[in-house]
C-alpha cells in the first residue's frame, strides 16, 4: 500500500475514535432494550476495528515494500473527503438528517472522481431515503430535522 493509504487509514482511525467517543454521550440502553446510542457505538467500534486493521496492514506493507509519494490528485481527494466529513456534523444539526446525508454522499462521490451528475445524485438520494426509512421509520430514532 502507498503512503497516502496509510495517512488516510490513520485519519479514519482518528475519525472513528472521535465518533465513538462522542457517540457514548447518547444513552446506550441494555441488550434487551437498546437505546438511541446503541447503533452509533456499534458502528464506532466496528469502524475503529476495521480502520485499525487496514492501518496496521498498510504500515506492514510499507516496511516490506518501498514507499511512494502521494500524488497531487490523491492529496486533493484526501483533503476533500476530510473536509466533507468534518462539515457533515454542523450540516447534520442545522439542515437535518436527510439533507446532510444527501450532501455528504453527493460531495464524496464527486470528490472521489465520479463523472457526470446523474449517478452521484441518484446515490445521494437513495442514501438519504435509506437513512430516513431505516432510522426514522423502522428504528424510530429521533434525528435532527433541521430547518425543514
Q: Contact 76/41 with Cβ under 8 angstroms?
A: no
Query: Torsion angle, CA of 98/104/105/107, rounded to 10 degrees?
Result: 140
Please check the confidence at residue 20 and state whether its pLDDT lies above 90.
Answer: no
**Interval 137-147 mean pLDDT:** 81
SS3 content of the chain, % helix, strand, coil (to 5): 75, 0, 25
pTM for the model stands at: 0.56
Q: Tell me the pLDDT tens digit for each residue of 75-115.
A: 888 899 889 988 888 888 888 888 999 999 999 999 988 88
Amino acid at each position: 500500500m502507498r503512503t497516502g493509504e496509510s495517512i488516510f487509514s490513520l485519519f479514519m482511525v482518528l475519525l472513528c475514535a472521535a465518533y465513538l467517543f462522542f457517540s457514548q454521550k447518547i444513552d446506550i440502553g441494555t441488550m434487551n432494550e437498546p437505546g438511541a446510542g446503541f447503533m452509533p457505538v456499534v458502528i464506532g467500534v466496528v469502524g475503529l476495528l476495521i480502520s485499525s486493521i487496514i492501518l496496521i496492514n498498510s504500515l506492514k506493507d510499507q516496511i516490506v515494500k518501498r514507499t511512494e509519494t502521494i500524488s497531487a490528485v490523491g492529496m486533493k481527494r484526501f483533503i476533500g473527503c476530510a473536509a466533507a466529513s468534518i462539515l457533515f456534523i454542523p450540516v447534520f444539526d442545522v439542515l437535518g438528517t436527510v439533507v446532510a446525508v444527501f450532501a455528504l454522499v453527493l460531495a464524496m462521490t464527486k470528490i472521489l472522481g465520479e463523472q457526470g451528475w446523474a449517478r452521484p445524485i441518484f446515490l445521494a438520494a437513495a442514501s438519504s431515503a435509506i437513512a430516513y426509512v431505516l432510522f426514522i421509520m423502522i428504528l424510530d430514532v429521533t434525528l435532527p430535522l433541521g430547518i425543514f
